[in-house]
A and B are shown apart, each in its own frame.
Chain A
Amino acid sequence: MRRAVTAALRAICCLALLGLGSNVQAHKASDSYLQIDAGDKGTTLRWDIALRDLDAAIDIDANEDGRLTWGEVKAAWPRIEAYALPRLAIAGCALRPTGHALERRNDGAYAVLMLTSDCVLAPTPAIDYTLFREVDPTHRGIARLQRAGQPPTLLMLDPTHAIITPTATASAAPPEASAPNGALGFLREGVRHILTGYDHVLFLLCLLLPSVMRRTPEGWRPVDSLSQAVWPVIGIVSAFTVAHSITLGLAALKIVALPSAFIEPAIAVTIILAALDNVWPILPVRRVVVTFCFGLIHGFGFAGVLAELNLPTSEFVRALLEFNIGLELGQLMIVVGVTALLFVLRQWPRYRPLVIRGGSYAAIVVGLLWLIERTANVSILPM
């Protein structure tokens, strides 16, 4: 059995090496991407510009070896901002930079400039866009203008026709998620994610249901004292925490990458297996070990959410830490509440048939439905 566990772990590690993605250069025309979010109190703008285009204008490749290293890009940041910012103006809005990041797209790496302004965007703001006008007249800025409650408007910004005013070129495209703002924003995101991430909660519940019981040859028996329940709970929760922190960290730092098409169904499988094990002991290793293995999978699930939040590179580690602490806090709330409730209920004669069996069957059904939803890409459950 241990061999199977090691094999599974080894397979997960293999993924790390293969999932990094190939770096193939596409041959599209030069485009920059602008995501403009117009709010009631101000306007934020995210501007993605290809590094290879910037190099053609301001020589980022300091040692001229054709490879842009992080050191070279870092050194060039002030010049990138000094070059780009004067080449974009939105009427009535003084844009100021708030941060920057890097991202990879199909055709190479992009510099991401985060800009903000206190202005309220005019209904048809005049956008003066002249980026790369002297480098490549076929360059375009592709802007997605998003106003609350409205479908986004797409704009083509041509640097050789300086001022562009949005007209009725609206086209529906899914808005991108924006990074949470404010102090401890990522902490809140972490708490929110575990409390509303029903799949993680259900998995924890499956593990906790029998925690106020002991497994004996005759079946589940209630524990005598709280301490008999607390220690296994602490063990399970710690194993889950350590495991998902490992994979969350690995995935967030881009050391390991797994497609959500695999992770999401796999999370559903962990729920089914954990619930099945409550009814029939099918998992041959101790619950702590099982929890650890499955926790690794859940960590990738958390990382998927984290990626959607568009973390700023500069504050990456802090944001990651905040998000994880948020997860643990949310998890602690659930564990304390549930364990207390179950401990009170444990002597109830119907605990075993109703809570353990009934609860586990329900979890199996929900887990199976999720598995179907996530593999067949259909919607069955309301959440």
Chain B
Amino acid sequence: MTDTVQPFKLLLTSTLAALLLAAATGSLATPIAPTSDDEVIDVLPAVSGSRADARRLRQQLAQQPQNAALALTAARRYLDQAHELGDPRFAGMALSAIAAWPDAASAPDEVLMMRATLQQYLHEFDASAATLKTLLARPGAPRPQAWLTLATVRRVQGRYAESDAACAQVGRAGATLHASACAAENAALSGDVERARATFAALLADPRQPAATRAWLTTSVAELEQRAGRAAAAETAFRAALALAPDPYTTLDYADFLIQQQRPAQALALLKGQVRSDAVLLRLAIAGVQAHSPGAAADVAEMRERIALANERPDAKVFHGREQAMFALAVDGDARRALALARGNVVQQREPLDLLVLAQAARASGEASALQDAKRVVDAMGLVDRRIEAIL
């Protein structure tokens, strides 16, 4: 009798194995056959405020597309949603809200500012800078926000001298706090860590700073200490920033720090309740693989599927180059592919993380020339980052 049960046991074991498999894999397109009118087919992304208001705004705008106030209100809402959910579709919708002014020369100031911000979000950095320059060439009141955005765009492109020039203009336009922080940020990137640390400390010493500003400054301190190789100070700053005002950007930043510190379990815990944007899912997958966590396979599979879907567009590797390089390196261990992606990515954006990924991929590839190339890019930018120095 016991012998005869064997085949069924086999069947049972394989059935249970299938359970895990079924949970872990999803398919690209499966037909839906609804059985009742109440069956929910799809859940729309969250909106801030009421859906009825959002829809009314959209309808009003459709009737008066030339109404700049309406267009900007709608665009602002969509952009906030794009930031909050990490969902690029909303950036596209924001662009369409201000589509009534295709010509930069005749567009209102606020529309140009919005367009530049959206272009920045969509990683069209040169286009964003061009839009800002059109705006800044106009006569009229000082425009600190436009200068600050230009400084940010140039910094992301790794053009620190141009960013510095824009920071100085932020100060001339009257926003002294932002100008100081802007300059300190560049100083820190260029290796003048002492001066940057002192500036941030002075700005934070002012008790009148609102929490959001303090959080922003504290995040800058955390990044600075991380690049300076002072992990304990970086950690303290990250925690302080998140305690002041938790935001998706700092959370991701802190997760990357934890992953770099080989503390994947804490990274996973940190990301647990976050909206599963591509950036968040990528970190979940990397930390999961690092920690050998049981959920890693599912996250890896989902991220892989998202990358495959995104790559149906030829320009996807440009927009997602950093994320795809990180995935290739940390999950697939495919150094060659990671290197190609990281190289393509730094043509576009050159934040410290982009250069770090390039250096890691170059090191993993074992090619001496790749390491030299990476070092040349870092030196040409004037970026000083202990983490990168340790690799190159």
Q: Check B3 against A59 for contact (C-beta < 8 Å).
A: no
Q: State which of A27, A53, A142, A257 has its C-beta within 8 Å of the C-beta of B87.
A: A27
Q: Decide if the interface of chain A is mainly helix, strand, loop or mixed.
A: mixed
**A259–B18 contact, CB under 8 A?**
yes
Chain B count of residues within 8 A CB distance of the other chain? 71
**Alpha-carbon gap, A117 to B277, bound state (A):** 40
| A7: Cβ under 8 A from any B Cβ | yes
User: A261: which B residues are within 8 A, CB to CB?
Assistant: 18, 21, 25
Cβ-defined contact, B89 with A269, below 8 A: no
Query: Which of B7, B14, B313 neighbours the largest number of chain A CB atoms within 10 Å of its CB?
Result: B7
CB distance from B96 to the nearest CB of A (A): 6
A31 touches B95 (CB 8 A): no
Chain A, residue nearest B278 (CB): A27
Is A128 part of the binding interface, using a Cβ–Cβ cutoff of 8 Å?
no
Task: Find chain B residues with CB under 8 A from A286 CB.
Answer: none
* Complex CA–CA separation, A24 to B275 (angstroms): 10
Residue B88 interfacial (CB < 8 Å): yes
How long is the Cα–Cα vector from A342 to B231 in the complex, in angstroms? 79
Per the bound structure, the CA–CA distance linking A316 and B34 in Å amounts to: 10
Instruction: Verify B306–A26 contact, CB threshold 8 A.
Output: yes
Interface pair B29/A105, CB less than 8 Å apart: yes
Interface residues of B in 136-167 (CB under 8 A from A): none
B55 & A64 in contact (Cβ 8 Å cutoff): yes
Q: Tell whether A313 pairs with B8 under 8 Å between CB atoms, given A27-B85, A136-B96.
A: no
* Shortest Cβ distance from A101 into B: residue: B31
Listed stretches B35-43, B173-181, B347-355; interface member: B35-43
Measured CB to CB, the closest approach of chain B to A321, in angstroms, equals 14
Give every chain B residue within 8 A of A61 (Cβ-Cβ): 44, 51
Complex CA–CA separation, A253 to B277 (angstroms): 31
With A74-B37, A106-B309 as known contacts, state yes or no: A265 contacts B31, CB within 8 Å: no
Interchain CB contact under 8 A, A108 and B42:
yes
Q: Which residues 53-79 of B have a CB within 8 angstroms of A?
A: 55, 58, 62
A262 touches B86 (CB 8 A): no
Within 8 A of B (CB), among A108-140: 108-110, 134-140
Scan B15-49; emit 1 where CB is below 8 A from any A CB, else 0. Answer: 11111011101111111111111111111111100
A70 & B39 in contact (Cβ 8 Å cutoff): yes
B92 touches A68 (CB 8 A): no
What is the minimal beta-carbon distance from B278 to any residue of chain A, in angstroms?
5
A68-B42, A69-B39 given; A259·B21 CB < 8 A: yes
Given contacts A30-B92, A52-B45, contact A102 B34 (CB under 8 A): yes
Complex interface: chain A residues within 8 A of B40 (CB): 67-69
Residue numbers in A under 8 Å from B62 (CB-CB): 134
Select which of A23, A262, A316 is within 8 A of B17 by beta carbon.
Answer: A262
Cβ of A11 and Cβ of B29 under 8 Å apart? no
Question: By the criterion CB–CB under 8 Å, are B92 and A137 in contact?
Answer: yes
Measured between beta carbons, the chain A residues less than 8 angstroms from B313 are 29, 31, 140, 142, 156
B312 interface residue per 8 A CB criterion = yes
Chain A residues positioned under 8 Å from B105 (CB to CB): none
Q: Are B11 and A142 in contact (CB under 8 A)?
A: no
Q: Is B273 an interface residue (CB 8 A)?
A: no
Cα separation A27 to B86 with both chains bound (whole Å): 7
Docked-complex contact B43 and A67, CB < 8 angstroms: yes
> CA A356 – CA B75 in complex, angstroms?
75
A110-B29, A269-B10 in contact; A28/B309 too (CB < 8 A)? yes
Q: A106: which B residues are within 8 A, CB to CB?
A: 26, 28, 302, 305-306, 309
> Is B21 within 8 A of A262, CB to CB?
yes
Do A269 and B14 touch across chains, with their CB atoms under 8 A apart? yes
Q: Judge whether B93 and A15 touch: CB under 8 Å.
A: no
Max chain B C-beta neighbours (<10 A), residue from A28, A48, A73: A28
**CB pair B15 A307 closer than 8 Å:** no
Q: Closest B-chain residue to A160, C-beta based?
A: B99
A7 to B313 Cα, complex, angstroms? 47
> Nearest-CB distance from B86 to chain A (Å)?
5
User: Taking the nearest CB of chain A, how far is it from the CB of B293, in angstroms?
Assistant: 17
Query: Which single residue of chain A is at the shortest CB-CB distance from B25?
Result: A259
A283 located at the interface, meaning its Cβ lies under 8 Å from any Cβ of chain B in the complex: yes
Query: Given A108-B42, A109-B41: A138 and B51 within 8 A (CB)?
Result: no
Is B99 within 8 A of A102, CB to CB? no
Collect the chain A residues with CB atoms within 8 Å of residue B31's CB.
101-104, 254, 307, 310-311, 313
Q: Which residues of A contact B17 (CB under 8 A)?
A: 262
Residues of chain A within 8 A (CB-CB) of B25 are: 259, 261
On whether A138 and B91 interact (CB within 8 A), knowing A27-B278, A283-B4, A311-B31, the answer reads: yes
Assembled-state Cα–Cα distance A273/B9 (Å): 12
Contact B88 A28 (CB under 8 A): yes
Please indicate the chain A residues that have their CB under 8 angstroms from the CB of B34 in the complex: 70, 73, 102, 313
Docked CA distance A142–B26 (Å): 21
Docked-complex contact B51 and A4, CB < 8 angstroms: no
Give the distance to chain A from B30, nearest Cβ to Cβ, in Å: 5
Closest A residue to B34 by beta carbon equals: A70
Smallest CB separation, A202 vs chain B (Å): 17
Shortest A363–chain B CB gap in Å is 15
Choose among B15, B45, B91 the residue with the greatest number of A CB atoms under 10 Å from its CB. B15
Inter-chain CA distance A30–B313, complex, in Å, is 11
Give A138 to B124 CA distance when docked, in angstroms.
Answer: 12
Contact A15 B29 (CB under 8 A): no
Asked whether A262 lies within 8 Å of B92 as measured between CB atoms, the reply is no
Please tell me which one of the listed residues A11, A55, A282 contacts residue B3 in the complex, with CB atoms under 8 A apart. Answer: A282
Which residues from B are CB-within-8-Å of A257? 22
- B294 located at the interface, meaning its Cβ lies under 8 Å from any Cβ of chain A in the complex: no
- Inter-chain contact B96/A134, CB cutoff 8 Å: yes
Q: Which residues of A contact B340 (CB under 8 A)?
A: none
Residues 67 to 84 of chain A near chain B (Cβ within 8 Å): 67-71, 73-74
Least Cβ–Cβ distance between B284 and chain A, in angstroms = 12
A64 contacts B96, C-beta separation under 8 Å: no
- Residue-wise, chain A 282-294 has the 8 Å CB interface mask toward B (1 for contact) of 1110000000000
**Would you give 16 A-B contacts (Cβ < 8 Å), ordered by A?**
A27-B278, A29-B92, A29-B313, A56-B93, A70-B39, A101-B32, A105-B29, A106-B305, A108-B42, A110-B29, A134-B99, A138-B95, A139-B92, A257-B22, A263-B18, A313-B34
Interface residues of A (CB under 8 A from B): 1, 4-5, 7-8, 11-12, 14-15, 18-19, 21-31, 48, 51-53, 55-56, 59, 61, 64-71, 73-74, 101-110, 134-140, 142, 154, 156, 252-254, 257-259, 261-263, 265-266, 269, 273, 282-284, 307, 310-311, 313, 316
Known: A4-B12, A106-B302, A136-B92. 11 other contacts (CB 8 A): A18-B19, A19-B23, A21-B30, A26-B278, A105-B28, A110-B29, A134-B62, A137-B95, A139-B92, A254-B32, A261-B25
